[in-house]
Amino acid sequence: MHLILFIVFAVFCLAGAVNLLLQTHPINSALSLIVVMTSLAVLYLLLGAEFLAAAQVIVYAGAIMVLFTFVVMLLNAGREERTLGSRAATVVGFPAVVALLAVLATVILHTPSLAGAVFGDNLSNEPGKTNLDQLSTVLFTKLLLPFEVTSVLILIAILGAVALARHDDGERAAGE
């Protein structure tokens, strides 16, 4: 069951990622990115990270991708023009990608201690202690300060986004 689910959603992931590269219209790329993110949420669920699966669907597939499609439609982005691309990308970029992937695959395949993923293998196997319990305990006790700092970061990001995207007329009116 685990194997079948893994294969199905891994194929969805890869197909979505390849489709993102092949599509020329940004809205199609955005939709295939949503497929990738939702399949990743299922993979998180298979790895016993329920909270992250929910957060992935809500934050990534929901909020961030809505922002992306909103900007694509706002700017009325059409088909991208095919150009030759930069020479640096062909000379340095693609060999570097191949080398990176080869090194990563070699390291991963030669790591002996990796176990298999099975259902119900939680972070701690104490009875009655779920993953969410552990996650929230650490997040709200040991890491409370980073958690609060992140909320400040998001507030600053909102202000920055508004300041950056504001129209020039508005800026002039604010300056007067």
Partner 1 sequence: MSVPLSWYLLLSAVLFALGVVGFLIKRNLITVFMSIELMLNAVNLSFVTFAHQWHAVKGQIFVFFVMMVAAAEAAVGLAIIIAVFRARATLAVDRIDLMKL
Interacting residues with partner 1 between 54 and 83 (CB under 8 A): 55-56, 59-60, 63-64, 67-68, 71-72, 74-75, 77, 80-83
What is the residue whose two structure tokens read 């991963």?
Answer: 108
Among residues 8, 91, 144, 165, the one that binds partner 1 under rule CB under 8 A: 165
**Nearest distance from C-beta of residue 100 to partner 1, angstroms:** 7
Buried b vs exposed e over 143-165: b needs ≥16 C-beta within 10 Å?
eeeeeeeeeeeeeeeeeeeeeee
Quote the Cα angle for 96-97-103, to 5°. 85
Task: Supply the minimum distance, in Å, between the C-beta of residue 173 and partner 1.
Answer: 16
The structure tokens listed for 29 are 């790329």
Helix axes 26-46, 2-22, angle to 10 degrees: 160
Nearer to partner 1, 104 or 173 (CB): 104
State which of positions 5-44 bind partner 1 (CB under 8 A). Answer: 6, 10, 13-14, 17-18, 20-21, 26, 29-30, 33, 36-37, 40, 43-44
The one among 8, 104, 144, 173 contacting partner 1 by CB under 8 A: 104
Q: Minimal distance in Å, beta carbon 174 to partner 1?
A: 16
* Binding flag, residue 111, partner 1 (CB under 8 A): yes
Report the nearest approach of partner 1 to the CB of residue 176 (Å): 20
Mapped onto helix, strand or coil, the DSSP state of residue 23 is coil
What is the Cα–Cα distance from 145 to 140, expressed in whole angstroms?
9
Nearer to partner 1, 121 or 173 (CB): 121
Among 117, 144, 148, 173, binds partner 1 (CB under 8 A): 117
Q: How far apart are CA 45 and CA 55, in angstroms?
A: 11
Binding positions for partner 1, 140-159, rule CB under 8 A: 143, 146, 150, 153-154, 156-158
DSSP code per residue over 123-153: SS--TT--HHHHHHHHHHTTTHHHHHHHHHH
